[in-house]
Chain A
């Protein structure tokens, strides 16, 4: 069984607001000093899902793809250290600042180039743009079905049974492979790479493919060919009108807060 896992390196979503900065002219986030980018929090769950399927089947190959700058290698290495077999970095100046449609096109071409892929797994969304569009886009490009926001999965022959998370509940669906599945945080704790695996991962192959390697047309990649134009990126202004509740002790502060809330008819 051939599984592809798509991963992404993003600015740390737990970056304090005070250290978050935007270059409004370039419409880009300025990397926070001393806060390294991290693997998108949902992606290790996608890798974990792939590893569980491979473990259960007793065979299979897991290829990790990441589209991004050179730092995306770290996201690939993390998945390799968890136990994935090979990596592919999609790297090209024409992949910078592209939109969700273009990303899905590039990822799907890479998946076609790998060939004979049974299952594509991704995190449910990336915590930078927070769109959750890529899994459906890749599936549509590959003309295969997509199941989103999975919390568990079981493979029986060519049929995958997926339990997915809805706004107000859960749903069980079946889909025949090949398919794309996006994995949610409810899937459970991903395994933590052990030192030995990290050392083994260093020896695993990471290929680098450009837009040309994917045989993308000139107008399929590149910031100038976005379908969703980014017109502005800025930090929304928040005006603070906070009233700090004083008191000589935490108990008194708590009493004063209770009185304030009662006065404001909030309790």
Chain B
């Protein structure tokens, strides 16, 4: 009996929103013959109902904290036990601080490979086929697994969570197994958030290496501040030390899906697109009309940003 196990994460006593996306992906597979959808989460029974409501058929409860960031060794033991209990042949988790470690660890313990940060999943003759972005977003790869258990992490926001149905219910089973934890977690601290969180912002203004000057980020911040948004940067700009890595948008940075994404002096050549291509409306300011970012935009100004952005700030102020 095939089935999908999703590894859900809890934060502040509630199920993390991304876990509902995993459930939606699991339900879509179930519709294609993927079998029942089980969810493993670390914590108490109070977490189960929202997992059922968002698509789980069964919930497995691991000891609280066993799926926290840094505890992949502990969590791998719980995940393997849940995988066996649920008789799952597909295991899905988030491309998060947890899944990034847990996915490969569980896969290697099962002697199989893992596909990271997938953006699409289909069932093809009872077997999983996954699409993932590679080469900095320039290419898509489609992969299948040779081993019995097919393990993938899913890119946040690539699936839409299902509307909760509080009429759904299912079985709750405790999982006692955990793995031997050799890495000792000393402390965990949240990054100091300045202003609006990048991932939550409805407007993001990002600058790239094309700015040519780290001080130009002041201009980006002025524009994003005026629009009530957040400021991001490309990896190239972060690698140069022009902007904090925590604000990096891209394959190895944050994924953002704002209503409005303004890309200033970013060609969209590599890296960057994968982190922002889900934006609903893209505006490019770039001197190169042929660059990728201009091509994918809704609106573009082909001019030197040094002339356009200050004028745009003035023009927006004048609107009100």
Contacts and interface: CB of A to CB of B under 8 A. Distances in A.
B146 A229 contact: yes
Classify the interface of chain B: helix, strand, loop or mixed.
Answer: mixed
Contacts of B290: 18
B225 interface: no
B303 interface: yes
Interface of A: 11, 13-18, 20, 22, 29, 41, 99-101, 104, 124-125, 127-133, 136-137, 140-141, 145-149, 161, 164-176, 184-186, 189, 226-236, 238, 240-245, 250-251, 253-255, 257-262, 264, 266-267
A267 B316 contact: yes
A169 B191 contact: yes
B300 A228 contact: no
B237 to A, nearest CB: 12
B315 A255 contact: yes
B269 A17 contact: yes
Given A136-B101, A167-B97, A258-B316, A233 B289 contact: no
Given A136-B108, A266-B260, A226 B252 contact: no
Top 6 closest pairs, chain A to chain B, by CB: A254-B311, A250-B307, A228-B113, A258-B315, A227-B113, A136-B104
Interface in B54-104: 69-70, 72-73, 96-97, 100-101, 103-104
Given A29-B135, A250-B311, A257-B283, A171 B145 contact: no
Contacts of B190: 168-169
A178 B109 CA distance: 19
Contact of A235 (B112, B138, B186, B271): B138
A222 to B, nearest CB: 13
Given A14-B270, A231-B142, A233-B140, 19 more contacts: A16-B269, A17-B269, A127-B252, A130-B116, A130-B117, A130-B252, A131-B117, A133-B116, A149-B100, A167-B96, A173-B70, A189-B241, A228-B144, A231-B143, A233-B142, A238-B295, A253-B303, A254-B312, A260-B299
A20 B135 contact: yes
A127 B251 CA distance: 9
Contacts of B297: 242
B171 interface: no
Given A124-B252, A260-B299, A173 B185 contact: yes
B168 interface: no
Given A167-B96, A236-B140, A261-B299, A130 B251 contact: yes
A234 B140 contact: yes
A173 B184 contact: yes
Contacts of B142: 230-233
Nearest to A127: B136
B182 A175 contact: yes
B308 A171 contact: no
B268 interface: yes
A253 to B, nearest CB: 5
Contacts of B316: 258, 261, 267
B169 interface: no
